[in-house]
Amino acid sequence: MNFSVVITTYNRPDFLSLSLESALNQSVDVKEITIIDDNSKVDYSDVLSQFNDSRIRYIKQTVSGGANVARNRGIKESSGDVVAFLDDDDIWLPSYLEKHDEKYKKGAEAVVSGFKHLGNDKAVRVNADEKVTRESLVRGNKYCGMSGFSCSRAVLENFSFDETLNNGQDWDMFVRLYLNDIVFYNISEPIFLYRFQNPDGIGAKLRSLKPADIEKRLGSARKHKDFLGEYWFKQRVAEQVLFSLNHRSNKLQWLLLSFKKAGFLATSRFFYTTLSRKIVKYIG
């Protein structure tokens, strides 16, 4: 079993140096590391010159197509048994691929894993499932983002990333693999570092989103409405609409939009769940 690593990057050479270093410093060797640059406007030559390793290949897209386009290109360029994905702003711990390898030796065809926030060891996100379950998936992505995901290349040849989705690409991939009975293991350990709240990250972009553009955020939910069922579909819509509400100036407008898109009950449950989590965190 050997690993191909695909690192996607866009305008963040300083972050790339850290993620690339973490991929090279694994306790098991990697076969190759393919960096897919989604047509960045900044130069990467200084960073790349720091790494003298024949396994590293840098490919710059001629047109920016988004993260999923870059990931699909990375799959096509890979030759290993397993493709492991790493975002340029995240960092793998040294045993990351070794832990994934253990699951593949048990028959896994895809693997997800837990993480902790970079710079805050107390902020840990771990799912206790041994394998990916429907119960977790209907509640949203309760596992990890792309930096915690690896998959057999043979499987990925039939399951490319959905390039039409604006967000939720990781959850969409996990749902499709689950629905097609792929042997999908979960590692209940925080084995990579997730860079939380980047200035140019998802949270920052959502705060500038206009209510009229919310449908861009609902693509993955609508795609898997049958899988979610009415209850969880409405709950997911409410969560997407109300995400980062406390950072928005036009809160009432977003609240009314949630009532319209998800209904009163789903919107109310969102606030109840959010408040409950804060109380538990405060007591703990």
Residues 225 and 167 in one domain: no
At 277 the pLDDT is 72
Which residue, 163, 194, 225, sits at the end of a domain?
Answer: 194
Indicate whether this model's pTM tops 0.85: yes
pLDDT for residue 218 is more than 80: yes
Indicate the SS3 state at residue 189: strand
Residue that has been written with the tokens 């861009």 in this structure? 216
Pick the closest to residue 206 from 173, 241, 236, 171 (CA basis). 241
Residues 179 and 41 in one domain: yes
List b or e across 78-97, with b for residues whose CB sees 16 or more CB atoms inside 10 angstroms: bebebbbbbbbbbbbbeebb
At 259 the pLDDT is 95
- CA 219 – CA 164 distance, rounded (Å): 8
Please state the rounded mean pLDDT for residues 8-17.
Answer: 96
Question: Strands (DSSP E) along 32-149, which ranges?
Answer: 32-37, 56-60, 82-87, 91-92, 110-117, 120-125
At 122 the pLDDT is 87
3-state helix, strand, coil in the chain (%, to 5): 45, 20, 35
Report residue 142: phi and psi, to 5°.
-100, 20
Instruction: Classify residue 131 by its DSSP letter.
Output: B
At 196 the pLDDT is 82
71-97, pLDDT tens digit by residue?
Answer: 999 999 999 999 999 999 999 999 999
Residues 169 and 249 in one domain: no
Q: Of the ranges 11-20, 200-209, 244-253, which one carries the lowest mean pLDDT score?
A: 200-209
List the CATH number of the domain containing 165. Answer: 3.90.550.10
Total domain count, the chain: 2
Which residue, 144, 160, 194, sits at the end of a domain?
Answer: 194
Pick the closest to residue 44 from 55, 53, 54, 36 (CA basis). 36
Q: What are the tokens at 64?
A: 């920016």
Q: What letter represents residue 154's amino acid?
A: A
pLDDT for residue 4 is more than 70: yes
pLDDT for residue 6 is more than 70: yes
**pLDDT bucket at 274, cuts 50 / 70 / 90:** confident
Residue that has been written with the tokens 């980047």 in this structure? 198
Residues 137 and 264 in one domain: no
Q: Which domain holds residue 148?
A: 3-194
Pick the closest to residue 88 from 188, 189, 201, 174 (CA basis). 201
24-48, pLDDT tens digit by residue?
Answer: 999 999 999 999 999 999 999 999 9
128-174, pLDDT tens digit by residue?
Answer: 999 999 999 999 999 999 999 999 999 999 999 999 998 899 999 99
Residues 263 and 126 in one domain: no
Residues 208 and 189 in one domain: no
Residues 209 and 173 in one domain: no
Residues 80 and 136 in one domain: yes
Residues 153 and 240 in one domain: no
Residues 135 and 253 in one domain: no
At 247 the pLDDT is 83
- CA 228 – CA 231 distance, rounded (Å): 7
At 209 the pLDDT is 82
Please state the rounded mean pLDDT for residues 103-107.
Answer: 98
Mean pLDDT of the chain: 93
Question: Strands (DSSP E) along 2-128, which ranges?
Answer: 3-9, 32-37, 56-60, 82-87, 91-92, 110-117, 120-125
165-216, pLDDT tens digit by residue?
Answer: 988 999 999 999 999 999 999 999 999 999 986 555 555 555 668 888 999 8
Residues 149 and 223 in one domain: no
Give percent above pLDDT 70 in the chain: 93
Which residue, 194, 228, 262, sits at the end of a domain?
Answer: 194
- CA 273 – CA 93 distance, rounded (Å): 32
Residues 207 and 187 in one domain: no
